[in-house]
């Protein structure tokens, strides 16, 4: 049986690990080309700073297609979902598009691949800013500050709500990605993958 001293040491180690895990949750934010072009870098970064989150990595990047291809998921589910978003938007707007005729695609997956390529075109159309952010519940808090994916649905007070008005129906009609200023990791797992993709260990600064 472990001694009382041993048990309390184990407990204190557990608490230390948990404490570090909570305080050091990380997330990735990318300021997309429309945010940079519109001179919103400072405004957007200041919102993350003001709420108390810590910036631990920052850089201006001109991404290439290879990097963006690694960034966006390749799972069948994610790609099909992009295609279905397109169909849903058309349905909601009573718009009938013959996707076979218009885009030479046969199903939601193939359409999703096309939309994914529009996303990559958009992300490669100009410089972007990569930001690694740290703090308790960083993933959830950043998503809350950023607001709804679709700018026209984003609440005032969120970044997308205050600075963008794009809508998926216009994006679909113009055969382009929706301009929503920011990417923010959707989960802790996504954040870990994305931070490792966009930053080297040396580029992430640990400070108090």
| Active-site amino acid positions | 183
Name residues contacting ligand ATP, limited to 116-175 (CB under 6 A): 119, 149, 168, 171
Strand, coil or helix: what is 150? coil
* Residue 89 contacts ligand ATP per CB under 6 A: yes
- Per CB under 5 A, contacts with Mg ion among 157-186 are 186
Look at residues 163, 133, 160, 123 and name the one whose alpha carbon lies nearest to residue 144. Answer: 160
Smallest distance from ligand ATP to CB 206, Å: 25
31 binds, among Mg ion, ligand ATP, none (CB under 5 to 8 A by kind): none
Mark residue 183 as left, alpha or beta (left: phi above 0; alpha: psi -120 to 50; beta: remaining): beta
Asked if 44 contacts 159 with a C-beta cutoff of 8 angstroms, the reply is yes
Closest approach of ligand ATP to the CB of residue 99, in Å: 14
The minimum distance between CB 1 and Mg ion, in angstroms, equals 49
Q: Long-range contact list for 178-181, CB < 8 A, 24+ apart?
A: 178/149, 178/150, 178/151, 179/32, 179/34, 179/122, 179/151, 180/32, 180/149, 180/150, 180/151, 181/31, 181/32, 181/34, 181/35, 181/40, 181/44, 181/151
Whose Cβ is closer to ligand ATP: residue 10's or residue 102's? 102
User: Binding residues for ligand ATP, how many (CB under 6 A)?
Assistant: 12
Which of the ranges 14-22, 49-57, 133-141, 179-187 carries the binding residues for ligand ATP, by CB under 6 A? 179-187
Q: Contact positions toward ligand ATP, by CB under 6 A?
A: 85, 89, 119, 149, 168, 171, 177-178, 180, 183-184, 186
Q: Contact positions toward Mg ion, by CB under 5 A?
A: 186
């Amino acid at each position: 049986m472990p001694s009382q001293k041993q048990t309390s040491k184990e407990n204190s180690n557990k608490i230390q690990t948990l404490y570090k895990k909570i305080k050091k949750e990380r997330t990735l934010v990318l300021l997309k080309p429309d945010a940079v072009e519109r001179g919103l870098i400072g405004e957007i970064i200041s919102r993350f700073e003001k709420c108390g989150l810590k910036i631990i990595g920052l850089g201006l990047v001109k991404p290439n297609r290879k990097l963006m291809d690694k960034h966006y998921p390749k799972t069948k589910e994610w790609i099909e979902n992009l295609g279905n978003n397109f169909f849903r938007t058309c349905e909601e707007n009573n718009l009938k598009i013959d996707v076979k005729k218009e885009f030479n695609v046969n199903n939601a997956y193939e359409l999703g691949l096309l939309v994914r390529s529009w996303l990559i075109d958009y992300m490669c159309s100009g410089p972007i800013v990569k930001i690694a952010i740290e703090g308790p519940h960083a993933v959830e808090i950043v998503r809350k500050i950023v607001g709804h994916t679709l700018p026209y649905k984003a609440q005032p007070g969120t970044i997308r709500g205050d600075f963008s008005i794009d809508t998926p129906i216009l994006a679909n009609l113009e055969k382009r990605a929706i301009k929503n200023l920011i990417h923010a990791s959707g989960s802790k797992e996504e954040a870990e993958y994305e931070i490792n993709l966009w930053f080297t260990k040396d580029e992430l600064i640990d400070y108090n």
